[in-house]
Structure 1
Amino acid sequence: MSTYRLLIITPERVFYDGEINRIVLKGAEGNMAILANHTPLMTTLALSELKIYSDPKKFRSATLLGGFAKIEPEKVVILADAAEWPEEIDVERALKAKEMAEATLKKSDQDLVWAQAALRRAIVRIEVSKTKDNR
């Protein structure tokens, strides 16, 4: 299987830079698997889990908190608002954020957009934190 370069940059750091077989991400059109020699494409990225395959059967999960992806045949560049490996996630903090967002959703429509976004971030972080390294 062919490989290509993946570069993930956040405002704080270069999160990932290496050769991979494929990635699975959630773009504007839904979930996408990107292989080498993909047709050029630009897409916004949803708050979701990102799977990075270093070989056909092994992957590493990360939380991707929005951004953009520029997909080219030999390279994918992701500019992410934030990205986290499972071991970087503070699960206790994410659980508290989830509880606060759920409580806000129950009592008021004023903070609806904030609470929905906070709830989605917390849920994605909690799910990715459960992911065992599959490298």
Structure 2
Amino acid sequence: MAESTFMLEVVTPERILYRDEIQFMVAPGIEGELGIMKNHAPLVAALNIGVLRYQTSTGVDKRMAISGGFMEVIDNGTRVLAETAEHGSEIDVLRAKAAKERAEKRLEVRSEEINHARAKMALQRAIARIRASEKPL
């Protein structure tokens, strides 16, 4: 293990999506982005729908879309328990864009038959998936 790295584990109900040493990460917290580096103070935080960004131990910038959950930082390790998560490289961008368009159309309709809270969450998930699929700057 390099001196400036710590363990990141991203877990969903279906699988362990990622488990490796990283240099830093930024997670979408409920109250804003949370930046984590080695020797961070212990922390438990709720996560929002968004993009989790991290830099591997070899300096490669990566992204994944997550749909909320929790993050625990303790003993130079971070565990993300996400409802869903996808590596940016695995995302079907056309499908994500179609989901975004569907959600936007639902939100335009003013009807009691449309669950607007659910449509807003679908829109947030689609946007997160699109952003996670983009190449890091």
- 1:53 & 1:91 partners in 2: Cα distance? 22
102, 120, 124: which one aligns with 2:124: 120
SS in 2 for 1:21: strand
> Percent identity, aligned pairs only?
37
Counting only pairs closer than 5 Å after superposition, residues 65-104 of structure 1 correspond to structure 2 as: 65-104=67-106
Q: Which deviations, in whole Å up to 9, do the C-alpha atoms of 1:30-61 show, x marking residues without a partner?
A: 11210111111100111111111114853111
- Contact persistence 1:91–1:125 (CA under 8 A): yes
Counterparts of 2:56 and 2:28, CA distance in 1: 18
Deviating runs (4+, > 2 A) in structure 1? Answer: 55-58
2:133 counterpart residue number? 129
Matched positions, count: 133
1:124 to partner: Cα distance: 1.1
The answer to whether the 8 A contact 2:44-2:72 is kept is: yes
Which of residues 51, 54, 63 is equivalent to 1:52? 54
Residue of structure 2 in register with 1:105 after alignment:
107
Q: Deviations over 1:70-110 (max 9, x none)?
A: 11141111111111112211112111111111111111253
Maintained 8 Å contact 2:49/2:125: yes
TM-score (norm 2): 0.88
Q: Given that residues 62 and 88 in structure 2 are in contact (C-alpha distance below 8 angstroms), is that contact kept between their aligned partners in structure 1?
A: no
What TM-score results when the alignment is normalised by the length of structure 1? 0.89
Cα distance in structure 2, aligned partners of 1:31 and 1:119: 19
| Structure 1 residue aligned with 2:28 | 26
The structural deviation recorded for 1:125 is 0.8
Structure 2: distance between partners of 1:48 and 1:71: 19
Higher mean C-alpha displacement, 40-49 vs 25-34: 25-34
1:62 is matched with: 64
Segment drifting more, 123-132 vs 4-13: 123-132
Residue 19 of structure 2 corresponds to 17
- The RMSD of aligned alpha carbons is 1.8
